[in-house]
Amino acid sequence: MSDRRHFLKQGLPAAALLLSACTQDKATEPGDKNDKFAANKPVVISTWRHGLAANAGAWEVLENGGSALDAVEAGVRITEADPDGRSVGLGGRPDRDGIVTLDACIMNSRGDCGSVAALENILHPITVARRVMEDTPHVMLVGQGAKDFALSLGMEEIDLLLPETREEYTNWKKNNPDYRPPINVENHDTIGLLALDKNGDLAGACTTSGAAFKYHGRVGDSPIIGAGLYVDNEIGGATATGWGEAVIRAVGCFLVVEFMRQGHSPNDACKLAVERVISKNPDWKNIQVGFIALAKDGRSGGYCIQSGFDYALQEPNKQAEMLVPGYVIEAPQ
């Protein structure tokens, strides 16, 4: 991390880096001697520690020459199927009525996008989102309509509420139904994953069961294009985690990408977007919001409101790493 920061401080101005990445990109094959950033591809970055396993799944696709789109879907499917995660897919915490509802979206390098929200009883919302993008004239399907669509694709209906989460929910309802859990690593582990493939194309995916014990029907930022995820293949991509309402107010991920378009590094773009979130949310000290970003040239970064957020990065010829981004305040103990 410090090396990266050092590089950014000492290296070419960010705008120059971005410009050269954009101008050389489209005509360049991987390994072409004109491709200045070939050494930086592929790259995968994703939120929280479960990102390590998701990145490994995405990496396998990319290493075999697969597209960024296939990689992001394969990566987050690992998290969706993991029963130990409490904010994604199977094992995710339910809403205040005891129902697990899922939000997800995906974007490819052409700017196509697909999304599902408030989806019940389907293991892989990200794949449903991809099929919305590819097989329908729409961007977003919600609730029963999204489920009907998933079933029409042959997907199985399954119970996503595990005995452990059922018990936790029952205790919550009995003891403290007004309690809104603080959003941090203990109860928020949405996966947002961004990939840059060997061709220099970007894609992103974001999937979650959302805020624990939310109102039934509540939709967070994660399936909202521009809020929980945004990818512009000329510039870069960004994805968010944390209190979705705050991210939506700032259209957070679109903003991160726009800051990168202005020449800011991924770290600085995320920091500026966090500052915008803070300016739009007077209760910001009580919430967590974190962004990660991946630029077209392979640089990556992140920033968040409270300490406690980390993200997983996989770059060529390097060990998988967990990085701790900059933050504004220490999380309350």
Residue 214 token pair: 């939310």
Alpha carbons 100 and 123: distance in angstroms, whole number: 11
The correct pick among 79, 241, 267, 306 for binding ligand SD4 (CB under 6 A) is 241
Specify whether the CB–CB gap between 231 and 202 falls below 8 A. Answer: yes
Residue 209 phi, psi dihedral angles, 5° rounding: -95, 5
Cβ closest to ligand SD4, residue 210 vs residue 226 = 210
Residue 120 token pair: 């019940």
211 binds ligand SD4 (CB under 6 A): yes
Cβ closest to ligand SD4, residue 92 vs residue 200 = 92
Place of tokens 């490994």: 56
Alpha carbons 43 and 195: distance in angstroms, whole number: 6
Of 47, 190, 207, 239, catalytic: 190
The correct pick among 207, 208, 281, 306 for binding ligand SD4 (CB under 6 A) is 208
Active site residue 190: yes
Cβ closest to ligand SD4, residue 70 vs residue 221 = 221
The region of 58-66, 137-145, 216-224, 275-283 touching ligand SD4 under the rule CB under 6 A is: 216-224
Spatial CA neighbour of 320 closest among 45, 39, 80, 68: 45
**Residue 118: strand, helix, or coil:** strand
314 binds ligand SD4 (CB under 6 A): no
Cβ closest to ligand SD4, residue 208 vs residue 307 = 208
By the 10 Å C-beta count (0-12 exposed, 13-18 middle, 19+ buried), 249 is classed as middle
190 binds ligand SD4 (CB under 6 A): yes
Site for ligand SD4 in 35-64 (CB under 6 A): none
Positions touching ligand SD4 (CB under 6 A) are 87, 188-190, 208, 210-211, 220-222, 241-244
Active site residues: 190
